[in-house]
Amino acid sequence: MKTRVAVSMSLAVLTTMAGCHSWVPIRPTELPKLNGTSAQVQQPDGTPVDVVEPFDASVTMRSLLPLQFNHPVTSTVEGKDLVVQGANRGRTAFPLQEVTSVEVSQPDPVKTAVLASVFVGAAIGLLIRLIFVAAT
């Protein structure tokens, strides 16, 4: 029974850490500002947004599904192309006029709080159940 509780709690922690991110749209030409650092960049409507390391990036073109680049992500603008590279994908060039969106993953404190609350509630319920089972 103790092993099951330990496994459940470990899975809860891993899920909380992995699932608490949101995708934030940024201007394609802003992505190179994030090479190896956190920085303030602009969203497509000009709104500033602070992006923190580490982040993954997603690039969508008119004719393709989004391509995701896992951190660390590096990029440059070379002529009329956005060139992006990540841990999972080599240098990939995108014609800037064909890029419809660039998004970066960022921690989402609201999702984290909700998910953590669910797991804490489940853990409390499990502990109460264990106490009652042990008492009988």
Residues in contact with 82: Cβ distance below 8 Å, sequence separation at least 6, in sequence order: 28, 29, 31, 59, 75, 76, 93, 94, 96, 99, 102
Residue 81, pLDDT above cutoff 60: yes
Residue 11, pLDDT above cutoff 80: no
Say if CB 133 and CB 125 are below 8 A apart.
no
In a domain, 135, yes or no: no
In a domain, 54, yes or no: yes
**Band of pLDDT at residue 132, cut at 50, 70 and 90:** low
In a domain, 46, yes or no: yes
pLDDT tens per residue, range 27-76 = 999 999 999 899 999 999 999 999 999 999 999 999 889 999 999 999 99
**Band of pLDDT at residue 112, cut at 50, 70 and 90:** very low
Domain tally for the chain? 1
Residues in contact with 28: Cβ distance below 8 Å, sequence separation at least 6, in sequence order: 59, 82, 94, 96, 99, 101, 102
In a domain, 15, yes or no: no
**Band of pLDDT at residue 20, cut at 50, 70 and 90:** confident
The whole-chain average pLDDT of the chain stands at 81
* Structural domain for 62, as ranges: 20-109
Distance of CA 117 to the CA centre of its chain: 20
- Least trusted range by pLDDT, from 17-21, 86-90, 101-105: 17-21
